[in-house]
Amino acid sequence: MKRVLVVDDDPSVSRLVSAALASIHVEHEIDYCSDGGQGRLKAAQGQYDLIALDLHMPFMGGVEALEEMKRNPKSARIPVVVITAQQDPAVHAQVRQLGALATVTKPFQVLDLVTIFRLAFAGNQAKPPPEPGTRPLDQ
Protein backbone atom coordinates (compact mmCIF):
# COMPACT_ATOMS: atom_id res chain seq x y z
CA MET A 1 0.00 0.00 0.00
CA LYS A 2 1.27 3.47 -0.92
CA ARG A 3 0.93 6.29 1.57
CA VAL A 4 0.34 9.71 0.05
CA LEU A 5 0.27 13.07 1.76
CA VAL A 6 -1.82 15.79 0.10
CA VAL A 7 -0.99 19.29 1.34
CA ASP A 8 -3.53 21.68 -0.18
CA ASP A 9 -6.15 24.07 1.16
CA ASP A 10 -8.60 22.71 -1.44
CA PRO A 11 -9.94 19.33 -0.19
CA SER A 12 -11.10 18.34 -3.68
CA VAL A 13 -7.45 17.83 -4.69
CA SER A 14 -7.35 14.76 -2.40
CA ARG A 15 -10.19 13.20 -4.38
CA LEU A 16 -8.42 13.85 -7.68
CA VAL A 17 -5.16 12.41 -6.36
CA SER A 18 -7.05 9.34 -5.13
CA ALA A 19 -8.74 8.93 -8.52
CA ALA A 20 -5.38 9.12 -10.29
CA LEU A 21 -3.92 6.46 -8.00
CA ALA A 22 -6.94 4.21 -8.47
CA SER A 23 -6.67 4.55 -12.26
CA ILE A 24 -3.16 3.08 -12.16
CA HIS A 25 -4.31 0.37 -9.76
CA VAL A 26 -2.29 1.57 -6.79
CA GLU A 27 -3.67 0.57 -3.43
CA HIS A 28 -3.28 3.70 -1.36
CA GLU A 29 -4.02 5.63 1.78
CA ILE A 30 -4.20 9.41 1.71
CA ASP A 31 -3.45 11.77 4.56
CA TYR A 32 -4.61 15.34 4.06
CA CYS A 33 -3.71 18.66 5.62
CA SER A 34 -4.54 22.18 4.57
CA ASP A 35 -1.37 24.17 5.21
CA GLY A 36 2.35 23.85 4.65
CA GLY A 37 3.21 23.90 8.34
CA GLN A 38 1.11 20.82 9.03
CA GLY A 39 2.44 19.23 5.84
CA ARG A 40 6.09 19.59 6.77
CA LEU A 41 5.41 18.12 10.22
CA LYS A 42 3.60 15.11 8.76
CA ALA A 43 6.28 14.68 6.09
CA ALA A 44 8.95 14.69 8.81
CA GLN A 45 7.57 11.37 10.02
CA GLY A 46 9.04 9.91 6.82
CA GLN A 47 6.17 7.49 6.29
CA TYR A 48 5.02 8.62 2.84
CA ASP A 49 5.66 7.34 -0.67
CA LEU A 50 4.55 10.60 -2.33
CA ILE A 51 3.62 14.15 -1.40
CA ALA A 52 1.27 16.32 -3.48
CA LEU A 53 1.92 19.94 -2.47
CA ASP A 54 0.13 23.19 -3.29
CA LEU A 55 2.14 26.43 -3.26
CA HIS A 56 -0.45 28.95 -2.04
CA MET A 57 -1.87 28.06 1.37
CA PRO A 58 -2.51 29.77 4.69
CA PHE A 59 0.03 29.79 7.56
CA MET A 60 2.97 28.38 5.56
CA GLY A 61 3.16 28.30 1.79
CA GLY A 62 4.33 25.38 -0.29
CA VAL A 63 7.74 26.77 -1.24
CA GLU A 64 8.76 27.16 2.40
CA ALA A 65 7.26 23.76 3.28
CA LEU A 66 9.15 22.12 0.38
CA GLU A 67 12.41 23.69 1.55
CA GLU A 68 11.91 22.28 5.03
CA MET A 69 10.82 18.85 3.73
CA LYS A 70 13.96 18.56 1.60
CA ARG A 71 16.25 19.69 4.45
CA ASN A 72 14.87 17.03 6.80
CA PRO A 73 16.61 13.65 6.32
CA LYS A 74 13.37 11.79 7.12
CA SER A 75 11.42 13.46 4.30
CA ALA A 76 14.16 14.51 1.86
CA ARG A 77 13.81 11.45 -0.39
CA ILE A 78 10.02 11.48 -0.65
CA PRO A 79 8.98 12.50 -4.19
CA VAL A 80 7.03 15.76 -4.19
CA VAL A 81 4.63 16.75 -6.97
CA VAL A 82 3.68 20.42 -6.83
CA ILE A 83 0.05 21.06 -7.77
CA THR A 84 -0.48 24.76 -8.30
CA ALA A 85 -2.32 27.48 -10.18
CA GLN A 86 1.01 29.32 -10.46
CA GLN A 87 1.98 29.95 -14.09
CA ASP A 88 5.30 31.76 -13.54
CA PRO A 89 8.19 29.72 -15.03
CA ALA A 90 10.57 31.19 -12.44
CA VAL A 91 8.49 29.70 -9.64
CA HIS A 92 8.40 26.33 -11.42
CA ALA A 93 12.19 26.45 -11.78
CA GLN A 94 12.57 27.41 -8.12
CA VAL A 95 10.61 24.43 -6.80
CA ARG A 96 12.48 22.11 -9.18
CA GLN A 97 15.76 23.37 -7.74
CA LEU A 98 14.38 22.70 -4.28
CA GLY A 99 13.79 19.07 -5.24
CA ALA A 100 10.21 18.76 -6.56
CA LEU A 101 9.72 16.02 -9.16
CA ALA A 102 7.23 17.96 -11.32
CA THR A 103 4.37 20.45 -11.32
CA VAL A 104 0.77 20.03 -12.36
CA THR A 105 -1.02 23.26 -13.13
CA LYS A 106 -4.56 23.82 -11.83
CA PRO A 107 -7.10 23.23 -13.18
CA PHE A 108 -6.04 19.74 -14.15
CA GLN A 109 -7.49 16.38 -15.12
CA VAL A 110 -6.83 13.09 -13.33
CA LEU A 111 -4.85 11.88 -16.33
CA ASP A 112 -2.46 14.78 -15.82
CA LEU A 113 -1.24 13.11 -12.63
CA VAL A 114 -1.01 9.52 -13.84
CA THR A 115 2.37 9.56 -15.63
CA ILE A 116 4.02 11.58 -12.89
CA PHE A 117 2.73 9.23 -10.18
CA ARG A 118 3.96 6.20 -12.11
CA LEU A 119 7.43 7.73 -12.33
CA ALA A 120 7.42 8.68 -8.68
CA PHE A 121 6.46 5.19 -7.53
CA ALA A 122 8.99 3.59 -9.87
CA GLY A 123 11.68 5.66 -8.17
CA ASN A 124 12.42 7.29 -11.51
CA GLN A 125 13.45 10.92 -11.11
CA ALA A 126 13.69 11.39 -14.90
CA LYS A 127 11.71 14.15 -16.55
CA PRO A 128 8.09 13.08 -17.05
CA PRO A 129 6.77 13.46 -20.57
CA PRO A 130 4.55 16.49 -21.03
CA GLU A 131 0.82 15.94 -20.92
CA PRO A 132 -2.00 18.47 -21.14
CA GLY A 133 -1.93 20.54 -17.95
CA THR A 134 1.28 18.91 -16.82
CA ARG A 135 4.63 20.62 -16.80
CA PRO A 136 8.02 19.19 -15.90
CA LEU A 137 9.67 21.84 -13.81
CA ASP A 138 12.81 22.46 -15.82
CA GLN A 139 11.02 23.75 -18.90
pLDDT score, position 131? 40
Query: Which DSSP state fits 59?
Result: S
Q: Which residues of 10-31 are buried (b: 16+ CB within 10 A; e: fewer)?
A: beebbebbbebbeeeebebebb
Q: Tens place of pLDDT for every residue, the chain, 139 residues?
A: 999 999 999 989 989 999 999 999 889 999 999 999 999 999 999 899 999 999 999 889 999 999 999 999 999 999 999 999 998 999 999 999 999 999 999 988 888 899 899 888 887 444 444 444 545 444 4
Q: What is the pLDDT of residue 132?
A: 40
The predicted pLDDT at position 112 comes to 86
pLDDT of residue 30: 94
Provide the H-helix boundaries in 1-139: 12-23, 36-43, 62-71, 89-97, 110-122
- What is the predicted pLDDT for the residue at 126? 42
Nearest to 37 by CA among 48, 23, 25, 53: 53
Domains and CATH numbers, the chain: 2-125 (3.40.50.2300)
**Cα separation, 128 vs 81, whole angstroms:** 11
What is the pTM assigned to this prediction?
A: 0.86
Contact 95, 66 (CB under 8 A): yes
